[in-house]
A and B are shown apart, each in its own frame.
Chain A
Amino acid sequence: TQLLEQSPQFLSIQEGENLTVYCNSSSVFSSLQWYRQESGEGPVLLVTVVTGGEVKKLKRLTFQFGDARKDSSLHITAAQPGDTGLYLCAGPSYNTDKLIFGTGTRLQVFP
């Protein structure tokens, strides 16, 4: 079974701070996705990374796919309360359509 481990599990910070969330696996993935889930809602896609070493930016969020395609990171610059939520990485299991998710990082940003 392919596993996606995320760290940290919880993160509680003040508005304006920077943070990084990690998604790691012992397996190679053809691509990885990052989703954010807000309270009472289903997860929503933020970004997909497909090339080893790829960096994508979405406003204050920077996503990187590891060179070996076994890991990814999400960096948030100057976090805001609106960034609060559960961040999940996800990838296709053994290059199939079956999508597996990581263990999640719950982020709380205080004003």
Chain B
Amino acid sequence: DVKVTQSSRYLVKRTGEKVFLECVQDMDHENMFWYRQDPGLGLRLIYFSYDVKMKEKGDIPEGYSVSREKKERFSLILESASTNQTSMYLCASRRQGAMNTEAFFGQGTRLTVV
């Protein structure tokens, strides 16, 4: 059974903290994604990685960075958490090269910044 696993379902962090959200996939996919989900806004792409150490900014990269040191792991970093980063964060992976392939998602991390 294919799987994308996010390290935490719920996180509560304080303003100004550095926050790490971890995502691991077991499908050997080249592409991995971090999305932010807010009511009425759908899924907004934060960052996209198409290979180890390779990344592209999505639509809302401000305040975030990412790390992909191994193919199976893609980390989202909030350098200094702020209350407006309170949201649901979803990680996904997808096979490269075929634009019609399925994206597989983790269960999400609900982050609250207080």
A residues whose Cβ falls under 8 Å from a Cβ of B: 1, 4, 6, 9, 30-31, 33, 35, 40-45, 48, 50, 88, 90, 92, 95-104
Contact status B41-A98, CB under 8 Å = no
Contact status A30-B40, CB under 8 Å = no
Minimum CB distance partner of B98 in chain A: A97
A6 to B41, CA, bound (A): 10
A46 to B41, CA, bound (A): 20
Instruction: A31-B100, A42-B4 given; name 5 further pairs at CB < 8 Å.
Output: A44-B105, A48-B102, A92-B99, A98-B33, A103-B42
B81 within 8 A of A: no
A9 to B39, CA, bound (A): 10
Q: Can you list 25 A-B contacts with CB-CB less than 8 angstroms, sorted by A residue number?
A: A4-B42, A6-B42, A30-B99, A33-B100, A33-B103, A35-B103, A40-B107, A40-B108, A41-B105, A42-B4, A42-B90, A42-B92, A42-B104, A44-B105, A50-B100, A88-B42, A97-B96, A98-B45, A98-B48, A99-B103, A100-B45, A101-B35, A103-B40, A104-B40, A104-B41
Known: A6-B42, A97-B94. A31 touches B99 (CB 8 A): yes
Within the complex, the shortest CB–CB distance from A87 to chain B, in Å, comes to 10
Cβ-Cβ contact count across A and B, 8 Å cutoff:
73
Mostly, the A contact residues are loop
Which residues of chain B are within 8 angstroms of A44 by Cβ–Cβ distance?
A: 105
Within the complex, the shortest CB–CB distance from B69 to chain A, in Å, comes to 20
B106 within 8 A of A: yes
Minimum CB distance partner of B33 in chain A: A99
Which residues of chain B are within 8 angstroms of A101 by Cβ–Cβ distance?
A: 35, 42-45
Contact status B99-A42, CB under 8 Å = no
A97 to B106, CA, bound (A): 19
